[in-house]
Structure formats: C-alpha cells, structure tokens
C-alpha cells in the first residue's frame, strides 16, 4: 500500500493511504529502513504493510529544518510586531529555501497591531525589497481575518509548510483558514518571543490543500555551503557580482574595485548585511573542509610513506640478498675463472 506520512510521534508514524479516503493508520518502521539509516519525514510517500513502513518512495524535495518532504511551497511567516520582523532571519530562510529550489510565499502577520499609517509604511518598505526579488507577499491578521482570502488563493491545492520564528502566528493562521483548533501560544510580554507551542510537524488537510504546521525555529546556519556559492543565492547581489572584474571575489569591503561594492547603494542594507553574516558561516565551513582534506592528505601521505618505506626496506633487503648472490656468483665465477 502506498501512503503519505502525515505526522510522526517518537517511533510512531501516522500515514494516509493514497487510494482510499481512510483515517490515519498508525505504523512503525521496518528494521531494514532503520539499518539503512533512512529518516522518514512528514510529507514522505512510503510503502507499508501490516502496520510497518518498508520503503521510502522518491522525493520531490526534502529539507531538515523543518524536517519535511515533497513541498510545493514554503510560507515564511513573520509578524510585523510582537515579535517585530527580524530581516536577517527572514533573509536566512529565503536564502536557505532558494538553495533548496523551493518556492516561497512571504506572509507578514499581525497587521492589526499597526495603525494604518504604520502599516502603509511597513508594507511599502517590505514590497520595495522583496517584490523585485520575485516573491509574492501577503499581509494578514489571523485575529481579524485580514488578507486570509488572498493567502488561501495563493496556497490552494498545494502542499505547503509554514516556516518562521515561534510566536509569529503560524498555527493561528492555519486555524483561521481551516477551522481547525490547533493549540496556539502566547508571546512573552518581556522579550516578545513565542514560547514554542507547536512541537511537531503535522499535515492538516482541507479541500485538497495540505498545510504542514511546524515548530518555530531560528537555528539554521550555512555550514554546508562554500563562500563562492553564496552570492548566487542573492539575486540582488549576483546581478552586480556577474560584472565584477575579480574572478574569486567575495564582494566584501576589502575589495574596493569590486562591482558589488561600487553598487552598494542599490542593494538593501539588511540584505547585504545578511550576505556578510552568512559569508562568515560559509568561510568556517570552508576552513573545516580544508582542514579535514589536509588531514586526510597527511594521513594518506604518511600511509604512502610508510608503505613506500616498507617496500624500500624489502627492496633493500632484496637487493642486499641479490647483491650477496651476485657477489657470490661473481666470486664463484672468479673462482671458476680461476679454476679455468
Ligand atoms: N494581534 C495578533 N495576534 C496574533 C495574530 N496571530 C497570532 N497571534 C497571537 O500570537 C501568539 C502566537 O501565535 P501562534 O499561532 O501560537 O504562533 P506560532 O507561530 O504557531 O508559534 P510556535 O508554534 O511557537 O512556533 C498567540 O497569542 C496568538 O493569539 C494576529 O494576527 N494578530
Ligand atoms: Mg504553532
Ligand atoms: Zn566583487
């Protein structure tokens, strides 16, 4: 039976068969998958029988944070206030999903917390940065149903996952558009942060749309990318980077004649700051990779030297033997010669 994984709780996998409109079936994992160290995620298509999943079917895409597969789109949710938009974190999500080639919809929630003028100002600022980058943007209030029709129109019939910091209103939006009753949490009065109410990823399905609610997370570092590959993920930087005359340029302040530096006034300040932040992480990764490959090279070299030394000592003893032999022969020959 082919099925999709809807939620996972410790060792239990809740799957929905593709063929029938059944309720979720509780399953475990077959040993073979565990042995192969295959990690099954929410959104995965699998094969199962007798209450056990035994095969993972091909994925369209898969990500670790949140840990989900087969997405048509990710909705990156921020809240305009409480907590207010963290643009570097937002760029972090966008760069990450661009790397994974997954479409993104930007949702700015809690617009009810701003007065009209403030909201207009925030909207203009956000649209100016992100619309030229090709992102669709919605402004919503889960509390007052603002923008939710437009939001629903953009995600209809798709499999989408929410992504965003804790407390921005992901579960609240999902509740408002799907009439669900998922637990939502408070935002701390002191630091305006959420309190990690949603703990697991789970598919909520209605009218052919599948929404994966996810726990809010912020830890996401570019510790898998080389510095030279970061710029390509920033369209607003790569447009100038393409015309940069330096070949291995990373477009930092150090290179005065760099075409990106020359055009910094045309790049949003926070976007460039985000680039520099992530660049440091990619540099750390490069250092690690270089160190490890050097270590491996040294080990290989030592190994080779050892082998060589062994061979040469053998060779040496061999040649000594041969030399002895030859000398002996020579000696005999000499004797023989003498004999003659
Ligand atoms: N004023 C206002 N408050 C909202 C809105 N949406 C959500 N909230 C409140 O924000 C708080 C956090 O909402 P959640 O939906 O739990 O946030 P979340 O993003 O799911 O958070 P985690 O599950 O922790 O990742 C709750 O107190 C909600 O009532 C909104 O549009 N306006
Ligand atoms: Mg939640
Ligand atoms: Zn440059």
Degrees to nearest 5, angle at CA 88 with 86 and 92: 115
Would you say residue 335 has pLDDT above 80?
no
From 75, 166, 169, give the residue whose CB has the most ligand 1 atoms within 8 Å, as the site to mutate.
169
Residues 6+ apart with CB under 8 A from 213: 162, 170, 171, 174, 182, 198, 201, 202, 204
Degrees to nearest 5, angle at CA 123 with 160 and 97: 30
> Which residue lies with its CA nearest to atom 13 of ligand 1?
169
Q: How far apart are CA 232 and CA 248, in angstroms?
A: 13
Nearest Cα to 161, choosing from 230, 52, 57, 60?
Answer: 60
pLDDT of residue 324: 46
CB of 209 within 8 A of CB of 182? no
Pairing, β 209-213 against β 202-206 = antiparallel
- Could you give the domains of the chain? 2-58 (2.40.50.140), 63-213 (3.40.50.300), 227-290 (1.10.40.50)
Distance (angstroms) between ligand 3 centre and the Cα of 233 equals 15
Lowest mean pLDDT among 78-82, 185-189, 335-339: 335-339
pLDDT of residue 334: 32
Would you say residue 260 has pLDDT above 90?
yes
Tens digits of per-residue pLDDT, 96-107?
999 999 999 999
Ligand 1 within 6 A of 163 CB? no
Distance (angstroms) between ligand 1 centre and the Cα of 184 equals 6
| pLDDT band at 242; cut points 50, 70, 90 | very high
**3-class state of residue 28 by DSSP:** strand
Distance (angstroms) between ligand 1 centre and the Cα of 76 equals 14
Distance (angstroms) between ligand 3 centre and the Cα of 94 equals 22
Q: How far apart are CA 302 and CA 261, in angstroms?
A: 45
Tens digits of per-residue pLDDT, 22-65?
789 999 999 999 899 899 999 999 999 999 999 999 999 999 88
pTM of the model: 0.84
Residues 6+ apart with CB under 8 A from 80: 108, 109, 110, 111, 113, 114, 119, 122, 139
Q: How far apart are CA 55 and CA 32, in angstroms?
A: 9
CB of 7 within 8 A of CB of 14? yes
């Amino acid at each position: 039976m082919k099925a999709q994984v809807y939620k996972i709780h410790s060792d239990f996998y809740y799957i929905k068969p593709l063929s029938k409109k059944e309720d979720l079936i509780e399953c475990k994992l077959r040993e073979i998958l565990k042995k192969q160290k295959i990690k099954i995620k929410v959104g995965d298509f699998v094969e199962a029988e007798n209450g056990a999943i035994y095969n993972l079917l091909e994925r369209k895409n898969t990500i670790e944070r949140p840990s989900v597969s087969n997405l048509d789109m990710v909705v990156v949710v921020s809240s305009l206030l409480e907590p207010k938009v963290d643009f570097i974190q937002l760029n972090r999500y966008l760069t990450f999903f661009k790397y994974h080639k997954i479409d993104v919809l930007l949702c700015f929630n809690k617009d009810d917390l701003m007065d009209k003028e403030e909201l207009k100002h925030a909207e203009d600022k956000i649209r100016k940065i992100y619309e030229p980058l090709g992102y669709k943007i919605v402004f919503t209030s889960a509390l007052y149903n603002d923008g939710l029709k437009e939001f629903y129109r953009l995600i209809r019939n798709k499999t989408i996952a929410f992504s965003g910091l804790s407390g921005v209103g992901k579960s609240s939006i999902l509740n408002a558009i799907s009439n669900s009753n998922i637990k939502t949490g408070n935002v701390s009065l002191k630091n305006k942060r959420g309190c990690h109410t949603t703990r697991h990823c789970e598919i909520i399905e209605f009218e052919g749309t599948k929404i994966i609610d996810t726990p809010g997370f912020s830890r996401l570092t570019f510790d898998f990318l080389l510095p030279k590959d970061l710029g390509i993920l920033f369209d607003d930087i790569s447009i100038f980077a393409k015309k940069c005359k330096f070949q291995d340029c990373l477009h930092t302040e150090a290179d005065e004649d760099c075409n990106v530096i020359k055009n910094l006034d045309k790049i949003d300040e926070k976007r460039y700051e985000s680039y520099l932040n992530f660049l440091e992480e990619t540099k750390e990764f490069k250092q690690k990779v270089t160190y490890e490959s050097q270590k491996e090279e040294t080990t290989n070299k030592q190994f080779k030297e050892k082998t060589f030394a062994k061979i040469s000592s053998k060779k040496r003893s061999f040649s000594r033997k041969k030399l002895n032999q030859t000398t002996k022969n020579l000696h005999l020959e000499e004797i023989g010669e003498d004999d003659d």
